Structure 1
Amino acid sequence: MTKPAIDLEADIKPVTDFRANSAAMLAQVRESGRPIILTQRGRSTAVVLDIRRYQALVDELDELRDIARGIADADAGEVVEHDEARKMVLEGLQ
């Protein structure tokens, strides 16, 4: 999921510029793969991100949370041995 780093000159824009040039800025996001940081009164207020990139981030976060839960379960001893898991699955198929 590696994308180019944020270009501080090209990718940070005032929200007023976004209002005036939203189609061009959305095209920039799609083509560059980089987000645009929107500012209001000189402060960062929002991020415009390509939908595929956003979905990839959400999916990756879900996977990382699942991994963390699995590690926590293993650390707590809440695991099922392979043979027992196989038996449970096979019994469930009958």
Structure 2
Amino acid sequence: MPVPVPDAGTRWRCTLCGNLTRFDVTRASRVVDFVHLDLAGDPRVEESEVLSETVESVRCRWCNAVDQVELVARPGGDAPQDGA
């Protein structure tokens, strides 16, 4: 099940330990890359276009909890508060 991604007004918070800053994020992406090979055959990606991206899981770096994150409002953010 995809994990909700924070936006300009929200951020992740671990529901077990309260961590707000350190997470390991597993993503699945479909990307089109423009690859330029030099004359020696060494590749270099010059352009990338992300067609789709899904956050599959988030693990807290502090307590190692998997998929125990919630979205909370950032300080001074524009996210609606519960009960508002």
TM (norm. structure 1) is 0.25
Judging by fraction of residues, say which structure has more helix: 1
Judging by fraction of residues, say which structure has more strand: 2
**Structure of greater relative contact order (alpha carbons < 8 Å, 6+ residues apart):** 2
Structure showing greater radius of gyration is 1
TM (norm. structure 2) is 0.27
